[in-house]
Amino acid sequence: MTKSVPVTRPVGSYTACIPSNYSRLIARVLELQEADLPALLDMTQLNVDQFMQEETLLTAPQQIQILSNALCLSNDDAFGLRLGARLTPPTHGAMGFLVNSSPNLLTAINAIQTYLPTRMNIARVDFTPNGDWLEGHCYFDVDLSPDIYRCLSEAFAKILFDCAEFIVGKPVHDATSFFNYAEPSYSQFYADYLPGQFEFSAPSLMVRIPMALCEIPNASSCSENYLFAMRQCETMQAQLLSNRTTLKYQVQKMMLDHPPGVLTETEAAAALFICKRTLSRRLKKENTGFRQIREEILSQQAADCLRDSTMSIDTIAALLNYHDSANFRRAFKRWFQLSPDQYRQSIRQSNR
């Protein structure tokens, strides 16, 4: 087995904001047992208990180190392709939900371009039309070894084409993938995972998709789900643009990575490796509290749904994980001094 190699430290924020479910998925792809996990976590300063917590967030260096360790453990040159095949939309939280419920491929691609940093702050994509084609460039804003760069590039292409196939209902055989590295020795496996043609030693990492496919309606589109996921992604993005060094930001990020209202204060404290009392004390220093943060998020999501959709009050309550719509109505009146119906009516009157 190859020895783990320390990764190059990325430039920028060291805030823990990358969901740990990606790394647990890596462990499943490797078919690791619990006794094998320390090797995957080598040089990350994480222990197995921390790693197994759903609420644990990773820094960019920790995430890259885990991927570096995984490549050493896999003994599989095509690991990036296999990993990409397992990174289905549900693994991407609200962003994945938004993509799956998008009305067409172009809207889904715009969602990926806009909200990818809310899930993986080391990568970004830029899609632009070019005649009959839509071209998508992928960039990694960190220093990566050639092996890790190739692995992430393969995973990026696989994720994108699986998304496209889900929405248009068929593989995108007319697409072309451009990889800005030399053709690897295992390139014969690319056709097992990726549709269309491949080019290596290209000027940049890019995919090219026919524009004609981008307007095909998504048979699985749901306007209510799309609206709800969009609002959650917008809220998460707004937090990313705020002060990332605050504890409030980290708690907000965790809450938005979970279904609304589900994360408990105890779980959040455990994910930050502190006790509940310490979390409460530190949030108080920032003039806030766990419940206040949760209510700010829930109230904003509730108001957005009432303002921008025709969903029933019961449906909104269920989306926000209120098991009893009466409880939701009481909470809403506490937030806005209006019932949900009165709030919606006031919005309609103001828009006339």
Closest Cα to residue 97, out of 74, 76, 118?
118
Quick: pLDDT tens for 223-239: 888 888 888 888 777 76
**∠ Cα 144 150 153 (to 5°):** 100
Domain 223-350 CATH class label: mainly alpha
Q: Where are the domains of the chain?
A: 1-75, 77-221, 223-350
**∠ Cα 281 282 283 (to 5°):** 95
Looking at the chain, the whole-number percentage of residues with pLDDT higher than 70 is 93
- Burial profile 56-79: b = 16 or more Cβ within 10 angstroms, e = fewer: bbbbbbbbbbbbbbbbbbbebbbb
Give all strands (DSSP E) within the chain, no chain letters. Answer: 18-19, 57-58, 123-130, 133-140, 176-178, 197-199, 206-210
According to DSSP, the residues that pair with 199 across neighbouring strands are 178
Mean predicted confidence (pLDDT) in 65-92: 93
Mean predicted confidence (pLDDT) in 125-130: 92
CA–CA dist 74, 69 (Å, integer):
9
For residue 1, what pLDDT is reported?
41
How far CA 197 is from CA of 83, 150, 179, in Å, comes to 20, 17, 11
- pLDDT category at 243 given cuts 50, 70, 90 is low
Token pair of 309 as six digits:
């959709």
**Average pLDDT taken over every residue of the chain:** 87
Quick: pLDDT tens for 139-155: 998 889 999 999 999 99
Token pair of 245 as six digits:
């060094």
Q: Is the pLDDT of residue 323 over 90?
A: no
Those residues whose C-beta lies under 8 Å from the C-beta of residue 88, and which sit 6 or more positions away, are 96, 162
- pTM higher than 0.75: no
Q: Is the pLDDT of residue 244 over 70?
A: no
Token pair of 164 as six digits:
């496209």
For residue 40, what pLDDT is reported?
97
